[in-house]
Amino acid sequence: MTLPLRPELAGVEPYGAPQLDVPVCLNVNENPYAPSAAVADDIAQAVKNAAATLNRYPNRDAMQLRRALADYLAKESSVLIDPGRIWVANGSNEIMLHILQAYGGQGRALMSFAPTYSMYHEYARNTGTRWIAGHRNEDFTLDLEHVQDMLERERPAVLVLASPNNPTGTALTIEEIMRVAELTRTSGPIIDKTETSTLLVIDEAYGEFRREGTPSALSVLDRYPHLVVTRTMSKAFAMAGLRLGYMAAAQTVVDDLMKVRLPYHLSAITQAAALAAIDHSDELMGCIAHLRETRDDLVRWLRAEGFEAVESDANFVLFGRFDEREKVFNALLERGILIRVVGPDGWLRVSVGTDEEDEAFRRALKEVTTHE
């Protein structure tokens, strides 16, 4: 007997970074500081209240949560966005899925520029969207001429650019974002003999870690009806376990995504917990300044030790280069430190941890590489 699995899924392994029980986990860019007992209590109380109404379906439009996120963005990025232009889902992963369900699919393409987040091509595959990856410059910046050529040649429905980018940590300047937003105004598929825009998605999963003077793409949102900025509570917000992602865009985009979302996609428990967490955003994100500093320290230290390290606007650092990176990865793992084999050959990625975790990583890396 053979089941009618879609041919593109034949032989595919389910994706995921290894989840190993080791003392120092620096592999998936989580915030290393757990919520305090007081925050955990408030979340638990909110969940308890929601539990008393679980016989009912959740609020489908999650307007209260979208209002809270709009208030948060006003504070974080000084940009005022109508809550109706915010969309929420189970992680920014699901936001991307909604985007491709609405704008991708058969005969359409999703484009990005590698090295970048490995999930993008999976979202494309899962939605029957063609995946196109261009390349970046040697220093991982965007080659804007190449971007223009690729857009003209392929006419993608969606272009996604992570900024700060994963796994490189590099952020786009606001000038680069605006340039690409201009290029994508008419580079989408031709529909009924009419030029469309390419939906430009700037994935700001690590937006809160950006360095002083790097504005968010949110600051130019109102100029481009085809611009989408995605965010998540998984990284800076220290809520990876919650699964709450969101985006800001023109009202039309939100209206389009509502056509493809499952009827009650965001559980009442998730909505309640997220609202309670946002009430404590100042405390939850109080460690961001410190993590930014220790990230910069880590880059300096790696360079002083003779490694290459990419300047980062995120909470991780890409470093190398190693003839046999798997060996370095495994030797660190033997010492209880889990990092990530990702990016171009020769490079490894390490998340910024607590001060103690950073110290353990440095000690182990020195040990491992002097014995190489």
Ligand X SMILES: *Cc1c(COP(=O)(O)O)cnc(C)c1O
**Chain contacts with ligand X (rule: CB under 6 A):** 29, 91-93, 117, 162, 166, 203, 205, 232, 234-235, 245
Strand pairing report for 86-89 and 245-248? antiparallel
Residues 6 or more apart whose Cβ sits within 8 Å of residue 168: 115, 116, 136, 140, 310, 312, 318, 343
Q: Give 43 or 239: the residue with its C-beta nearer to ligand X.
A: 239
Q: How far is the CB of 168 from ligand X (least distance, A)?
A: 11
Q: How far is the CB of 327 from ligand X (least distance, A)?
A: 25
Q: Give 83 or 167: the residue with its C-beta nearer to ligand X.
A: 167
Q: How far is the CB of 173 from ligand X (least distance, A)?
A: 18
> Could you tell me which of 48, 61, 117 has the C-alpha nearest to residue 89?
61
First-to-last CA distance in the chain?
Answer: 50
Verify cis geometry, omega within 30 degrees of 0, for the bond prior to 321: yes
Q: Give 257 or 364: the residue with its C-beta nearer to ligand X.
A: 257
Q: How far is CA 169 from the centre of its chain?
A: 11
Q: Give 118 or 369: the residue with its C-beta nearer to ligand X.
A: 118
Q: Give 237 or 301: the residue with its C-beta nearer to ligand X.
A: 237
Q: Give the whole-angstrom CA distance, residue 23 versus residue 18.
A: 14
Give CA separation, 180 vs 45, 54, 151, 254, 349, in Å: 45, 45, 10, 21, 27
Main-chain dihedrals φ then ψ at residue 342, nearest 5 degrees: -160, 160
Residue nearest to ligand X (CB): 91
Main-chain dihedrals φ then ψ at residue 17, nearest 5 degrees: -65, 145
Q: How far is the CB of 359 from ligand X (least distance, A)?
A: 25
Q: How far is the CB of 230 from ligand X (least distance, A)?
A: 7
Q: Which element (helix H / strand E) includes 370?
A: helix 355-370
Q: Give 129 or 232: the residue with its C-beta nearer to ligand X.
A: 232
> For the chain, what is the radius of gyration of the CA atoms?
21
Q: Give 163 or 187: the residue with its C-beta nearer to ligand X.
A: 163
Q: How far is the CB of 363 from ligand X (least distance, A)?
A: 27
Q: Which element (helix H / strand E) includes 227?
A: strand 227-232
Q: How far is the CB of 160 from ligand X (least distance, A)?
A: 9
Q: How far is the CB of 162 from ligand X (least distance, A)?
A: 4
Q: Give 27 or 368: the residue with its C-beta nearer to ligand X.
A: 27
Which string of DSSP letters, residue by residue, matches 56-78? Answer: SPPPSS-HHHHHHHHHHHHHHH-
